[in-house]
Amino acid sequence: MTASGTFGYGLEFADFIDLKQIGGIIVKGTTLNHREGNPYPRMAETPSGMLNAVGLQNKGVDYFVENIYPKIKDIQTNIIVNVSGSDIDSYVKTAEIINELDCIPAIELNISCPNVKQGGMAFGVTTQGAYDVVNAVRKAYKKTLIVKLSPNVTSIADIACAVEDAGADSVSLINTLLGMAIDAERRKPVLSTITGGLSGAAVKPIALRMVWQVAKAVKIPVIGLGGIMNARDAVEFLLAGASAIQIGTANFIDPTITVKVVEGINDYLERHHIDSVTDIIGALEC
C-alpha cells in the first residue's frame, strides 16, 4: 500500500504506474474541517531522509466526499482514508461520514495528532489517550479500522495492546519520528514549526524494531512502514511480523517504486522457493 500524505489521492500517480497493481492507497490525512496546513518552509531534506511539517493540509471531509471520492472510487484497488482529528468528537464525526462511502473498505486512524482539549499532547502517546479515541471511533465506524501508531513513545507495544483492546482490526506503524533541522549560517530552524516529522531510509531500523515488538504483542495484523525504499526492505518488515507494508517517502524519489517492490517481493519468493508471501510473515529466526 502507499503511505498517507505521500501519494496524494492516487490519481496523481496514474501516469506512472498501473494503480491496480498495488494493494491499496491510503489517501491524504482527512479532517472534519478544512485545514490550511503550516506556513512554509515545511520540508527539509536530511541525510537519508526528510523532515516534514505539512500539518495535515486538506479541504475537509465534506469536500472529500463531494469532489474527490467520485473521482477515485472506481480505482481497482483498496482506497483507505487516513482520518485525523483535533479532539475525539472530530475523529468520530469524520469516521461516521466515511462509513457511508461504499467504495471505502477501511479507515486508518492517525492518532499522532495533538489533542487540543488536552494541552496539545498527541492521542497516541499514552495508552489511555490511544484507547479513548479508538474506543469512540470503533462504536461509530463499522468497517475495517486500522490504527496508525506514533513512534514517539516509550513502549509502542503497550500502545498497540491498548488499541487492540479498544477494538482496532489492525495497527500500522510507524508514523514519523519527531526531529529538527537547523540552518547554522542563519541561526534559524529550517522549518517554520521548528520541529517536524522524520521519514525515509533513516528511520527504517527504528521502524523495523517497533514492528517486531508490536507483532509479538498483539493478535491483530500489523502493517509495517517507515523507510521502505526497495523490495529487500519490504521483505525485512514481513519477516519481522508485518502482514502488509506501506511505502511513503520513497514515492517522492521514484514514483514507480510501489510496483517495483511488488515485483521484487515475488522475485525474493521465487529465489527462495517459497510458494506464498504469507509463509515469510514473522518468519524471522532469532
Ligand X SMILES: Cc1cc2nc3c(=O)[nH]c(=O)nc-3n(C[C@H](O)[C@H](O)[C@H](O)COP(=O)(O)O)c2cc1C
Nearer residue to ligand X within complex by CB, 26 or 97? 26
Question: Least Å distance between CB 270 and ligand X?
Answer: 25
Dihedral angle sign, alpha carbons of residues 193, 178, 113, 252: positive
Of positions 86, 126, 170, 199, contacts ligand X by CB under 6 A:
199
Is residue 224 at the binding interface for ligand X, with CB under 6 A as the rule?
Answer: no
Is residue 226 at the binding interface for ligand X, with CB under 6 A as the rule?
Answer: yes
Is residue 200 at the binding interface for ligand X, with CB under 6 A as the rule?
Answer: yes
C-alpha cell of 261? 517492490
Neighbours of 37 (CB within 10 A): 12
Is residue 112 within 8 Å of residue 85, measured between CB atoms?
A: no
| Stretch binding ligand X (CB under 6 A), from 85-93, 114-122, 220-228, 267-275 | 220-228
Is residue 175 at the binding interface for ligand X, with CB under 6 A as the rule?
Answer: yes
Of positions 110, 115, 127, 213, contacts ligand X by CB under 6 A:
110
Residue type, 184: A
Quick note: the x/- pattern for ligand X over 121-150, rule CB under 6 A, is: ---------------------------x--
Instruction: State yes or no: is 103 an active-site residue.
Output: no
Nearer residue to ligand X within complex by CB, 218 or 245? 245
Q: Angle at CA 15, nearest 5°, toward 10 and 17? A: 70
Side-chain-side CA neighbours of residue 223 (13 Å): 24
Helix, strand, or coil (residue 28): strand
Q: Angle at CA 223, nearest 5°, toward 219 and 226? A: 135
| Stretch binding ligand X (CB under 6 A), from 162-170, 182-190, 232-240, 243-251 | 243-251
* Residues tagged active-site: 113
